[in-house]
Amino acid sequence: MTVAFLYPGQGAQRPGMLRDLPGHPAVAAALAEAENVLPGSSRCDDAKALASTVTAQVALCVAGVAATRALAAEGAVPDAVAGHSAGAFPAAVAAGALTFEEALSAVRRRGELMRDAYPSGYGMAAVLGLGVPQVRRLVASATTPGDPAYLAIVNTDQQVVVAGSVRALDRLSAAADRAGARRVRRLSVGVPSHCPLLDCVADAMADHLGSIPRRLLAVPCLSGSTGRVLHDSGAVLGDLARGVAVTLRWRDATALLGELGTTLFVQTPPGDVLARIARTVCPQARVLALTDTAGIADAAELTRRVRARRPDVAW
């Protein structure tokens, strides 16, 4: 039996997400470290601040690392980690590919590049209740030469995210409603992530991450972009750079974790979106978000029990 920690990405942020982190000394220490590296980053969780893609991604990194360190302080460590979009940066810290300081610098740079590339007129929308082939056809019909749309994220077979211009997303939303979608929801993301529109960002991130030392990983890291297990830090850093411009195959990554023997998924704050996806994709596994528990101690106790019962697993 194995344990995987999951780290949510942009769209999961919410006001108060840092103030509401579990009261634990390791959380307080992580917030202080973040504040020392990026002044203001430990308090950047009001609605106005989180409207910025830069601030939202930094806050998600802080929350993920803080929760991981609190769990580790209670003796709970994962057998593998996976991060959804910007959540890949705190996952890389947990895996040992990045230091906290390196992750904060990189995720801030990523947010700045994304913001500067598309300051307005673009975004993302989630389509619920339609299959991937049907959404692909709707994307093709909504795309025009000046207003592109792309299939950006496959969270489950019936939960797909599209990126593109606002006008293209409006056309796609209307078409999805007519096609019988259960719901179409515009995400709190002001840039067209996980599509070729961000190739320039991927190239710049590759340059930024190129100077990071290569280290031995503490645990394997699952790539949301490829749905594959990454065993070395060079592969993790390359995936962090390229992932912003390619389709995120989160369903495949989650399913692979289940196939490799994961019996407990633990989502770090904020929210529980990845926990809900894991319940859908791997219904045989135990799933929890830290918001579902009485606190870090309870989550850590369950993690320790599951890991104590696990057989040897070759990742």
Flag whether 315 is in a domain.
no
Flag whether 160 is in a domain.
yes
pLDDT at 309: 75
Flag whether 172 is in a domain.
yes
| Residue 90 sits in the same domain as residue 211 | yes
How confident is the model over 278-308, as pLDDT tens digits?
A: 999 999 999 999 875 557 888 888 888 888 7
| Residue 98 sits in the same domain as residue 151 | no
Give the pair of three-digit tokens for residue 246.
Answer: 């390619």
Flag whether 314 is in a domain.
no
| Residue 111 sits in the same domain as residue 55 | yes
Exposed/middle/buried for 49, CB within 10 Å: 0-12, 13-18, 19+?
middle
| Residue 68 sits in the same domain as residue 203 | yes
| Residue 78 sits in the same domain as residue 220 | yes
pLDDT at 170: 97
Q: In b/e form, how buried is each residue of 177-199, taking b as 16+ CB within 10 angstroms?
A: eeeebeebeebbbbbbbbbebbe
| Residue 179 sits in the same domain as residue 230 | no
Flag whether 86 is in a domain.
yes
| Residue 165 sits in the same domain as residue 184 | yes
Give the pair of three-digit tokens for residue 278.
Answer: 């894991």
Strands 262-267 and 183-186: unpaired
| Residue 142 sits in the same domain as residue 239 | no
How confident is the model over 175-211, as pLDDT tens digits?
A: 999 999 999 999 988 899 999 999 999 999 999 999 9
**Structural domain total, the chain:** 2
* Euclidean distance between CA atoms 67 and 21, whole angstroms: 8
| Residue 33 sits in the same domain as residue 111 | yes
Residue 267: which domain range?
A: 2-117+197-309
The 3 state secondary structure assigned to 140-190 is HHHCECCECEEEEEEEECCEEEEEEEHHHHHHHHHHHHHCCCCEEEECCCC
Indicate the residue among 168, 190, 212 that finishes a domain. Answer: 190
| Residue 175 sits in the same domain as residue 206 | no
Flag whether 253 is in a domain.
yes
| Residue 108 sits in the same domain as residue 130 | no
Of the candidates 66, 48, 61, the residue with the CA atom closest to the CA atom of residue 109: 61
Q: What angle do CA 289, 295, 301 make, to 5 degrees?
A: 85
pLDDT at 48: 92
DSSP 8-state symbol, 58: H
Indicate the residue among 141, 170, 190 that finishes a domain. Answer: 190
Any idea what the CATH number is for the domain that residue 166 is in? 3.30.70.250
Handedness of CA 187, 244, 89, 235 (dihedral sign): positive
| Secondary structure (3-state) at 78 | coil
Of the candidates 251, 245, 278, 304, the residue with the CA atom closest to the CA atom of residue 78: 304
Can you list the residues of the chain whose pLDDT is less than 70?
A: 1, 292-294, 310-315
Any idea what the CATH number is for the domain that residue 242 is in? 3.40.366.10
| Residue 12 sits in the same domain as residue 64 | yes
pLDDT at 1: 45
* Euclidean distance between CA atoms 21 and 19, whole angstroms: 6
Of the candidates 259, 305, 244, the residue with the CA atom closest to the CA atom of residue 113: 244
